[in-house]
Amino acid sequence: MIKHHSGAGLAVAAIAGSLLTASLALAEQRNFTIPVEEKTVDIGAGLKYDAWTYGGTVPGPVLRVRQGDKVHIHLVNDMEIAHGIDIHAAAIAPSKHFAPIPGKTDLSYDFVANVPGVFAYHCSAPPMVTHIANGMYGMMIVDPKGGWSKAQEVTLEQGEFYGDPDKNGMVSGDSKRMMDERPDFVVFNGVIEQYADHPIQIKVGQPVRIFFVNIGPNRTSTFHVVGTVFTTVYRSGNPANAFHGVQSFEVGPGDGAVFEFTVHEAGDYPFLDHAIARAYKGAIGIFHALP
């Protein structure tokens, strides 16, 4: 279980597509304890994957703080092999803080979340491509000091799995395909087509805000919602990096963005990586708009 501690009280509520979000108006210190676990996870389509995880899920928990907060990270590694955690929001010396730790060892570091945005985090142990592709990644949202305008919020993390399933539907990671950049499955929030089977409900006339990370580890995402034009896209999720009237937007491996849009008719609005082959590999879902 992920442990979150706050000196000023942390209000936690579920939001679509994420494990964790918080109301952070008052707090200044954010503490996160994250265990490393090996776990078999369901990746959809009747398939399973023997994953390396943060907290038992792929992706790991969404960590949410406010610009200017002090953040303490505590990683607990009970596995036999080395793992670490590189949080892209942390502007600190990697060699001192992100270096992987051997099995049965804890790692801790502190930083100030000075830059708002939506940031990837991932394992820092070599070969990094293997650790990320095996499931060790997640998202940190750093809300701007003034907060965001009111909207329905959704978190989406695009990732890749490499390998063929055996007769029992178990997928084992294929390191050669990882190095050759040939994913067999491309997913949102760790599961093949999960939001095609279970659409995300939104409301007509109400703004939607997507916090998006493409962890890769290899392929760029061209994110698109069919039937919409994004009113605003914020590169890296930073309000200072705003683009308006955007049909789709490229997010490289390890980068993020915030997408905002509003629909004006009821119906289904598919979202996908517009490198279309990846939609057929699992990177597709549906927003179902209700009146």
Question: Quick check: 237 pLDDT over 70?
Answer: yes
Residues 139, 21: Cα–Cα separation, whole Å: 11
Domain coverage including residue 133: 3-148
Structure tokens at 42: 């369901």
Same domain flag for 118 and 162: no
pLDDT, residue 26, reads 57
Same domain flag for 79 and 161: no
Structure tokens at 92: 């600190």
Looking only at the bridges linking them, the beta strands covering 152-161 and 185-188 are antiparallel
Among the three residues 148, 163, 197, which one is the final residue of a domain in this structure?
A: 148
Compute the average pLDDT of residues 42-60.
97
- Domain with residue 217: its CATH number is 2.60.40.420
For the chain, the domain total comes to 2
Question: Quick check: 1 pLDDT over 70?
Answer: no
Give the sign of the dihedral formed by CA 96, CA 100, CA 103, CA 105.
Answer: positive
Q: Which has the higher per-residue pLDDT, 18 or 100?
A: 100
Q: Which has the higher per-residue pLDDT, 187 or 103?
A: 187
Same domain flag for 166 and 135: no
Among the three residues 93, 121, 148, which one is the final residue of a domain in this structure?
A: 148
pLDDT band at residue 27 under the 50/70/90 scheme: low
pLDDT, residue 78, reads 86
**What's the whole-model pTM score?**
0.90
Same domain flag for 203 and 236: yes
* Residues sharing a CB contact under 8 Å with residue 290, sequence separation 6 or more, in sequence order: 201, 202, 203, 204, 266
Same domain flag for 114 and 157: no
